[in-house]
Amino acid sequence: MAKFKKEIIRVGEYYHPDAPDGKLDVTLDRINNWIDNFTKAGIKVWLPIRHSKDPRDNTGWVTGLLVEDDKLIAELEVTDKDIATRLEDGTIKDVSIGIEFDFTDDKGNIFDEIIRHVALTVDPHIREQEGFIAAEYNIDIIRGGDTMSEITEGKVMGWINEHIAAAIPGPLKPDVKLTAELETAEGKVTELEGKVTELEAVTKERDTLKTEKDTADAKALQLEWDAEWDKGCQARKVTPGEKDIYLEATPDPEKLKTAIEARPVNKDINLEGAKTVKNPNDGLTEADRQAITATGHNPDKEEEFVEDYLKNKNS
């Protein structure tokens, strides 16, 4: 059995005596419909010599239909050895499809159009066809004089080697132009790789400089903030204990300056920014000190007694 592929029709408008108005309009949709019906119906599509239903004229079967570009391609199994040889050597080059309308299969399904057979011919109505293409290595037609009983493994391998040797061209000559273009392309690739490396180095340096700049800016901002804070302490408007609170709430130096300026001066804060602690003893006269000492108390260490003494004295 030999296998072939064959274009059986292609998209176009053709003159055909059996078609309505003498014209056969083949569209891609129509081709796909034939393929779909072929698959669904599951019928045997025969390969006769001419349009014949006589079993003696059949040479094989259509096993598949497919679309290639705008062509309908049939996959063929040729069971007649003599016909297979004629297809391969070009004695028979063309086919003619047999279409049946309103075809009913054995299950009662009706198909509007279906391909029933593909006839071998030398004088088709549609002449624009590509030839038969052997779909595989057909051993049974390589040596017409050999019978299957005479074919040995050695003969088969010999035929295959002959076929391969005939198909392989001589030594290939180097394509000078292609080689030059390839070398040029490789040079450009190397050049681009070098530029990529340079770009990566520049990018790394840029990132390093940016990090250094961000660090320097942060330090400068902190110094500016500290300077504003020191001014606030010197102006007796804030105390050191409030620094962390202000730093978290007002990290911007300008906003800190505005916030400090809005605060009143607190005279109880010394120039270092600390609140002044009043010593109760500051209001004692020398006579007061002697009087307190006479009671057995120390005016420099017993602040509560001193405060009570002054309150009683002033009341």
Q: What is the pLDDT of residues 174-230, one digit of tens each?
A: 778 888 889 999 999 999 999 999 999 999 999 999 999 999 999 999 999 999 989
pLDDT bucket at 23, cuts 50 / 70 / 90: confident
User: Domain of 301?
Assistant: 280-314
Note whether residue 43 is domain-resident.
yes
Q: Which of residues 164 and 57 earns the better pLDDT score?
A: 57
Provide the pLDDT confidence category of residue 139 given band limits of 50, 70 and 90.
very low
Q: Is residue 218 part of a domain?
A: no
In a domain, 307, yes or no: yes
Write down the pLDDT at residue 24: 85
Q: Strand 133-134 vs strand 12-15: parallel, antiparallel, or unpaired?
A: unpaired
Cross-sheet strand order for the sheet of 2-10: 94-104, 110-121, 45-48, 58-68, 71-78, 2-10, 133-134
Q: What's the domain count of the chain?
A: 2
Res 271: pLDDT: 55
Please indicate, yes or no, if residue 137 is contained in any of the structural domains: yes
Classify residue 57: in a domain, yes or no.
Answer: yes
* Sequence-distant (≥ 6) Cβ neighbours of residue 185 within 8 angstroms: none
Kindly report the average pLDDT of the chain as a whole number.
83
**CATH code of the domain in which 35 resides:** 3.20.16
Residue 264 belongs to a domain: no
In DSSP notation, the chain reads: -EEEEEEEEESEEEE-TTSGGGEEEE-HHHHHHHHHHHHHH---EEEEBSS---GGGEEEEEEEEEEETTEEEEEEEE--HHHHHHHHHTS--EEEEEEEEEEE-TTS-EEEEEEEEEEEESS-SS------EESS--GGGT-TT--GGG--HHHHHHHHHHHHHHHS-SPPPP-HHHHHHHHHHHHHHHHHHHHHHHHHHHHHHHHHHHHHHHHHHHHHHHHHHHHHHHHHHHTTS--GGGHHHHHHH--SHHHHHHHHHTSPP-TTB-TTSPBPPPPGGGG--HHHHHHHHHTT--TTT-HHHHHHHHHHHH-
The per-residue pLDDT for range 63-114, each reduced to its tens digit, is 999 999 899 999 999 999 999 999 988 899 899 999 999 999 999 999 999 9
47: in domain: yes
Is residue 300 included in any domain, yes or no? yes
Task: Name the domain boundary from 127, 151, 175.
Answer: 151
The residue from 131, 151, 171 where one domain ends is 151
What pLDDT, on a 0 to 100 scale, did the predictor assign at position 142? 41
Chosen domain end from 113, 135, 151: 151
Of residues 225 and 292, the one with the higher pLDDT is: 225
Answer positive or negative: Cα dihedral of 97, 98, 101, 103: negative
